[in-house]
Amino acid sequence: MNPKIHNWRGQRIWIIGASSGIGAELARKLMALGAKLALSARNLGALQLVSAGYAETMVLPLDITQSSEILTARDAILAKWEGIDLVLIVAGTYQKMRAEDFNLIAAKQLVDTNLNGPLNCLDAVLPVLLSQGKGGLGIVASIAGLSGLPQALIYGPTKAALMNLCQSLYLDLRPRGISVYLINPGFVATPLTAKNDFTMPALISAKTAAKEIIHGIERGEFHIHFPKRFTNWLRLLRLLPYRLYFWLIHKVTGL
């Protein structure tokens, strides 16, 4: 559904959310493959650790909720590279929440980071990609966006919105020569999932997640989801009648 990538050497890639977890591992793997990288996140020290020893890296700290900071970083990238081949929006946050624990402030913070943050990024990068008539855009959502799940009262809806957003972006951008990648991980061992107090089925490492993403992009996939032994199960559940879906979710999770 997207053009295949056979060689990463010299590719100009901006990873937003590169200080830890999946974003940091993506950066390390793409460094090894010879790409040019711009790394962004709030934590400057962590970004510097990720980029240490690799000359083809720009470190551009920013807060994804601050549009002006993203625009400033974009301008710095264009001043040096004169274009961008791939933007990967990985930044996001998680806070478990159920109806009895609903907190409006926390809910708005989740929306601001997980949904408004990527929209801020689109405001900065879409004009560049459209002007180029080439390049790619990948957004990390979550398999939790497929359907309602316990403890994901706000997190799930933000990821569902990103899934819908990527589908619409693909319809608009692919005819214009721009690739779009919807990235839906299952459970990945990161500082965010370390907060969970339940058994996470098919848990994988951030290194494995980064490998899956890179391979999916190389193959030209639109929907990159993993591990498939878990994500395909959830995709199947989504097709069930609600009566059966709700019963199974309660039975499997105990929640």
What's the number of domains the chain is made of? 1
State yes or no: pLDDT of 156 exceeds 90: yes
Q: Whole-angstrom Cα distance, residue 142 to residue 163?
A: 8
- The answer, yes or no, to whether residue 18 has pLDDT greater than 80, is yes
227 in a structural domain: yes
Residue 152 has pLDDT above 80, yes or no: yes
173 pLDDT more than 90? yes
Q: Is the residue at 1 inside a domain?
A: no
Q: Give a yes or no: residue 245 inside a domain.
A: yes
Q: Is the residue at 5 inside a domain?
A: no
Q: What pLDDT shows up at residue 253? A: 84
Whether the pLDDT of residue 199 is over 80: the answer is no
**pLDDT tens digit string along 84-117?**
999 999 999 999 999 999 999 999 999 999 999 9
3 in a structural domain: no
Residue 108: domain span? 12-253
* Average of per-residue pLDDT across 114-125: 98
Which residues are marked as active site?
A: 155
What one-character-per-residue DSSP string does the chain give? --------TT-EEEEES-SSHHHHHHHHHHHHTT-EEEEE-S-HHHHHHHHTT-SSEEE----TT-HHHHHHHHHHHHHHHSS-SEEEE-------B-GGG--HHHHHHHHIIIIIHHHHHHHHHHHHHHHHT--EEEEE--GGGSS--TTBTTHHHHHHHHHHHHHHHHHHHGGGT-EEEEEEE--EESTTGGG--S--TT-EEHHHHHHHHHHHHHTT-SEEEE-HHHHHHHHHHTTS-HHHHHHHHHHHH--
Residue 96 lies in a domain: yes
**What length is written for the chain?**
255
| pLDDT at res. 60 | 98
- Band of pLDDT at residue 200, cut at 50, 70 and 90: confident
Residue 187's pLDDT band (boundaries 50, 70, 90)?
confident
The structure's pTM equals 0.95
Look up the CATH number of the domain holding residue 228: 3.40.50.720
Whether 177 maps to a domain, the answer reads yes
The DSSP bridge partners found for residue 36 are 12
* Structural domain contains residue 6: no
